[in-house]
């Protein structure tokens, strides 16, 4: 058994940029010496989110519309009144969607569906450089 | 320390079918040689979800109503325009609710509340056969 | 490799009480003999939730407002009709937000952003004593 730590670096375009990070997570597993286990992918940050979707433009657009309904950009946020950085909606979206995703792998293969991808959702209101951490635990 | 992989097979009735999978997850732990650790339950697929609820008909009905409010079936979805399979809402629900759930166990007992069950929520618009994977990691 | 189990005890003030539990999770890692790995924090219960936010009063207030929109307190719930404990909304919120959160740590340090805290959200309609479990897996 072992624990190995990897980093995924991303450049995002700001609000609602959804990035397929499955290739990067696969690469972590491949570079690891661990054959079977789990990978915990986390955003160290409070204005983005990680989940899975079928990464095709229609679903990505539909998901963004749902997120806009749940935490709209054009309503007042207390965070903005206090801090003035205009990203109150970003914080709410991140908390609702979640910043951590754990996925098993077997014989170096991620356990995902054929049409299922792991995605990072930029919730912040400006382009960001992101460093996700992938903690791989197994044997 | 060890890693063991189990499979849970389900037959669902389509949209909003909520299935208590706690007995199946318990069975994985019992069949495993691992005494203490965590179990990561994942849907390899993009039109279902895993969470916990008190599995009684009232709460199940209330949860479904909330999901219908968040991602209604009767609004237009871009995914449906492009692919015509009518399950755009299913993809959005899966991404919002999440496809992975990790639960600890101690001395072979799942750490859950008395009234808390692990459930699979079918979000797709037709009955499906589902194979969930349970990755058990521990010692 | 090892598995260690810790407990976090909380006293909550009822609906919408959001508690920063980062110090308690850090303390579990510090007391553990494990240096690198993951910590799975779970609520054994069906009327609370765990996520991450920037724990400042504005964001906490904004998050609560979003949760109130998603699963309002003042609409009818089937659970309440059957059981009369008035916390139907609590169950729905817990299922939507999630009861389990997994976070990596490296050299005894949690992988979190500078402004990111792990929080417990009380969704129940009365003050509760809560015992969260933290399962630490690593080496």
Task: Looking at the complex, report in whole angstroms how far the Cα of residue A78 sits from the nearest Cα belonging to chain B.
Answer: 23
Alpha-carbon distances, residue A98 vs A43, C21, C82, C100, C116 (angstroms): 9, 16, 32, 11, 12
Residue C1 pLDDT greater than 90, yes or no:
no
Residue A1 pLDDT greater than 90, yes or no:
no
Report the Cα C40 to chain-centroid distance in Å.
Answer: 11
Mean pLDDT of C66-70: 98
Choice between A85 and A92, residue whose per-residue pLDDT is larger: A92
Residue C47 pLDDT greater than 90, yes or no:
yes
Helix axes A88-97, A57-70, angle to 10 degrees: 110
Q: What is the pLDDT of residue A13?
A: 98
B59·C99 Cβ contact <8 A: no
Which residues in chain A have their CB less than 8 angstroms from residue B79's CB?
54, 56, 58-59, 62
User: Cβ–Cβ contacts within 10 Å for residue B40, how many?
Assistant: 25
pLDDT digits (tens, 9 = 90+) for A39-63: 999 999 999 999 999 999 999 999 9
* Percent of chain C whose predicted confidence (pLDDT) is above 70: 100
Chain C neighbors (3+ CB pairs < 8 Å): A, B
Residue A118 pLDDT greater than 90, yes or no:
yes
Which residues in chain B have their CB less than 8 angstroms from residue C2's CB?
1, 139
A102·B102 Cβ contact <8 A: yes
Average pLDDT, chain A: 97
Q: Which helix (H) or strand (E) holds B41?
A: strand B37-42
Q: What is the pLDDT of residue A99?
A: 98
Residue A95 pLDDT greater than 90, yes or no:
yes
The DSSP code for C98 is -
pLDDT digits (tens, 9 = 90+) for A11-50: 999 999 999 999 999 999 999 999 999 999 999 999 999 9
Asked whether the ipTM of the predicted complex exceeds the cut of 0.90, the reply is: yes
Task: Looking at the complex, report in whole angstroms how far the Cα of residue B139 sits from the nearest Cα belonging to chain C.
Answer: 7
CA of B64: which chain C residue's CA is closest?
C92
Residue A82 pLDDT greater than 90, yes or no:
no
C139·A1 Cβ contact <8 A: yes
The whole model's pTM is what?
0.98
Tell me if the domain spanning C2-138 has CATH number 2.60.40.10: no
Pairs across A and C, CB distance < 8 A? 110
pLDDT digits (tens, 9 = 90+) for B66-110: 999 999 999 999 999 988 889 999 999 999 999 999 999 999 999
Closest CA to B60 of C68, A96, C95, C100: C95
Domain ranges of chain A: 2-138
Residue C117 pLDDT greater than 90, yes or no:
yes
For residue B92, give both structure tokens.
């959005």
- Given a contact cutoff of 8 angstroms between Cβ atoms, the answer to whether C127 and C10 are in contact is no
Dump the DSSP string for A15-62.
TT-EEE-HHHHHHHHHHSS--SEEEEEE-SSSSEEEEEE--SHHHHHH
Residue A78 pLDDT greater than 90, yes or no:
yes
Q: Which residue has the tokens 């692919």?
A: B83
Mention every residue, 6+ apart, whose C-beta is less than 8 A from residue C30. C108
pLDDT digits (tens, 9 = 90+) for B4-54: 999 999 999 999 999 999 999 999 999 999 999 999 999 999 999 999 999
Q: What is the pLDDT of residue C75?
A: 97
Given A44, A95, A96, which is nearest C113 (Cβ)?
Answer: A44
């Amino acid at each position: 058994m072992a624990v190995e730590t990897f980093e995924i670096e991303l450049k995002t375009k700001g609000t609602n940029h959804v990035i397929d990070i499955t290739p990067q997570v696969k690469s972590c597993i491949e570079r690891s010496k661990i054959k079977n286990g789990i990978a915990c992918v986390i955003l160290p940050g409070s204005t983005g989110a990680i989940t899975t979707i079928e990464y095709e433009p229609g679903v990505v657009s539909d998901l963004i519309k749902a997120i806009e309904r749940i935490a709209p950009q054009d309503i007042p946020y207390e965070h903005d009144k206090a801090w003035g950085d205009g990203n109150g909606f970003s914080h709410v979206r991140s908390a609702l969607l979640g910043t951590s995703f754990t996925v098993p792998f077997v014989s170096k293969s991620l356990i995902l569906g054929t049409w299922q991808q792991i995605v990072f959702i930029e919730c912040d209101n400006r382009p960001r450089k992101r460093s996700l951490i992938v903690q791989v635990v197994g044997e």
